[in-house]
Amino acid sequence: MYKNLLDELKSIIKGDVAEDLETLNKYSHDASIFEIPPQIVVFPKDQDDVKNLVKFVSHHKLHTPDLSITARAASTCMSGGGLNTSIIVAFQKYFNHKPTVSGNIATTEPGVFYRDFEKETLKHKLLFPSYPSSREICAMGGIVNNNAGGEKSLQYGKTEDYVHELKMVLSDGNEYIIKPLNEAELNKKIAQDDFEGKLYKNIYELITTNYELIMNAKPKVSKNSSGYFLWNVYDKEKKIFDLTRLFVGAQGTLGLMTEAKIKLVPTKKHTEMMIISLHNLGHLAELVNIILPLKPESIEAYDDKTLKLALKFFPEFAKKLGTRSILTTALKFLPELTLYKEHRIPKLVMQIEFADDHLGTLKQKIADLSEKLRTLHPDTKIAIDDEEKKYWEIRRDSFGLLRGHIKNMYSSPFIDDIVVKPEYLSEFIPQFEAILKKYPSVIGTFAGHVGNGNFHFIPLVDLKNPREQHLITKICEEVFELVAKYHGSSSGEHNDGWIRTPYMHLQFSKQILELFEETKKIFDPHGIFNPHKKVDGDLNFAMKHVRTSW
């Protein structure tokens, strides 16, 4: 389709420009349910390549309307955010230099794997606490652009709280430093008679003119990756205007990130974990409310199906723990194996982890929690020695345990990231399960960040079956309506992408959706960056591109 443009594109890019079928096929899918082949994949070598590419697309957009750019790092996006029918910008090949750490700030590029980023920060006894459960395979570009969160977000918050500064290539093809501005700095930006000045002026006016409407639209949950975070940009009390808060979680729809400065926190020396086994969920919300005041680092959970799979396929699971002896591992799992044999597996397993530099403080918190739980009589256990590792492995691999043992069905994230306030969980979960029971062919495991009210349900579906594909849209409609009923978010971590953008009207008002559209126009007037995410969702197109082969 772009044959007439290819030679020109290759002449301005120092990196690689690929159009072979093998590359296009590789970049036609990510961790989502979609398969959308691009026309070209560009591997930019440096910032000049990124700037030249944006200028190239902007210049040719008028005569080639479908021309656009979608950024991509490690391809782990579960919402289809890295898929596009036009040009994919793949950052992992060249934008992967070793991060640098200065003070509590790490400077990184979008193609750096989180696992490599963490190796460098840990040398300084520092940690980026908002890493997701895909920590071994995801990259920093996706973490920033999806507003990633994970098991430590309960105490530390999400990525939006840790981005200190960004370098972004915007739609005029120039690279800008984006950072918090005080009132004087903001007024100076607005006074500029250039692209940057007009951008700041327009977005400032949009936010201040609609300030109350925007602030009232802020999701009433502790984790959200849906929409544009307009409510986070302008702090009226401190008079700070921070556009990093808008680019974080924008899925590359407003510009291309080339570098990020990330704030870090000190690591803690000690951890203690309590395990709570629930045979019914009637006291779940009450339990969470008892636990939260003690300020645990995480409250995670997984369901009975997850635990059953870990035990059913125990030898394979033991290998994932890295233990040399299956017998040794079996002894550690003896209580769970006994429950499995006696058909007494709990409906939900909660793991509450505390972290501190002082072991005595942790012991006291565990003792305080045990005392507070006495009236509810739950089954509790303290993880000793290296037992914490086995519980974390089950939690982090809750979905992989299922995916690896069901034939002819495929991982299908579409209601995988719902969030409601924790106090609603006892009401919400039975209603959520009632929706799923209407569709018995859709099976899956249930796990999540209970302390945030953020649950992941990633079912296996026969995506080759048109009838099963049709169920996806029906279930999405019902589940997202239920989430809206409890004033939650359809995405706590995984973002909108192709799958959730068409349903954003269930979470946000018409006026807010119009402000999202205006925000997109301010930053990207010609629509060159990652179309059909955040605004202008196209459900029909998306469902015609459901992946049917692996």
Q: Compute φ and ψ for 72, nearest 5 degrees.
A: -150, 140
The pTM assigned to this predicted structure is 0.94
Kindly report the number of other CB atoms within 10 A of residue 9's CB atom.
19
Note the pLDDT of residue 54. 98
pLDDT of residue 324: 54
Distance CA 312, CA 27 (A): 35
What is the pLDDT at residue 366? Answer: 94
Q: Give the pLDDT of the chain (550 residues) as one tens digit per residue.
A: 688 899 999 999 999 999 999 999 999 999 999 999 999 999 999 999 999 999 999 999 999 999 999 999 999 999 999 999 999 999 999 999 999 999 999 999 999 999 999 999 999 999 999 999 889 999 999 999 999 999 999 999 999 999 999 999 999 999 999 999 999 999 999 999 999 999 999 999 999 999 999 999 999 999 999 999 999 999 999 999 999 999 999 999 999 999 999 999 999 999 999 999 898 888 888 999 999 999 999 999 988 887 777 777 666 666 666 655 556 666 666 666 666 666 678 988 899 999 999 999 999 999 999 999 988 888 888 887 666 666 777 666 655 655 565 667 787 999 999 999 999 998 999 999 999 999 998 888 788 899 999 999 988 888 999 999 999 999 999 999 999 999 999 999 999 999 999 999 999 999 999 999 999 999 999 999 999 999 999 999 999 999 988 7
How far is Cα 203 from Cα 524, in angstroms, rounded to an integer?
12
Axis-axis angle for helices 425-437, 284-291 (nearest 10):
140
Q: Residue 531: exposed, middle, or buried by beta-carbon count in 10 A (0-12, 13-18, 19+)?
A: buried
Describe the strand order of the beta sheet including 69-72 as a list of residue ranges: 16-18, 40-43, 87-90, 69-72
> Which DSSP helix (H) or strand (E) runs through 40?
strand 40-43
- Show the DSSP H helices in 13-163 as ranges: 21-26, 47-60, 114-122, 140-146, 153-156
DSSP structural state of residue 401: H
Give me the pLDDT at residue 322, please: 61
Which H or E element spans position 6?
helix 3-12
Report in angstroms the alpha-carbon separations of 17 from 43, 168, 390. Answer: 6, 21, 44
pLDDT given for residue 419 in this prediction: 97
Q: What is the pLDDT of residue 334?
A: 67
Give me the phi and psi of 250, to 5 degrees please. Answer: -85, 0
- Measured between alpha carbons, how far is 433 from 189 in angstroms, rounded to an integer? 51
Three-state DSSP at 485 gives: helix
Beta carbons of 297 and 154 less than 8 angstroms apart = yes
- Burial annotation 88-124 (CB, 10 A radius, 16+ → b, else e): bbbbbebbbeebebeeeebbbbbbbbbeebbebbeee
Q: What is the spatial distance between Cα 293 and Cα 87, in angstroms, rounded to a whole number?
A: 48
Within its chain, how far is the Cα of 305 from the centroid?
Answer: 23
CA 80 to mean position of chain CA atoms: 12
Query: pLDDT at position 446, please?
Result: 81
Q: Residue 51 and residue 205: Cα distance in Å, rounded? A: 27
Q: Which residues contact 546 (CB under 8 A, 6 or more apart)?
A: 33, 34, 35, 463, 469, 472
The count of residues in the chain is 550
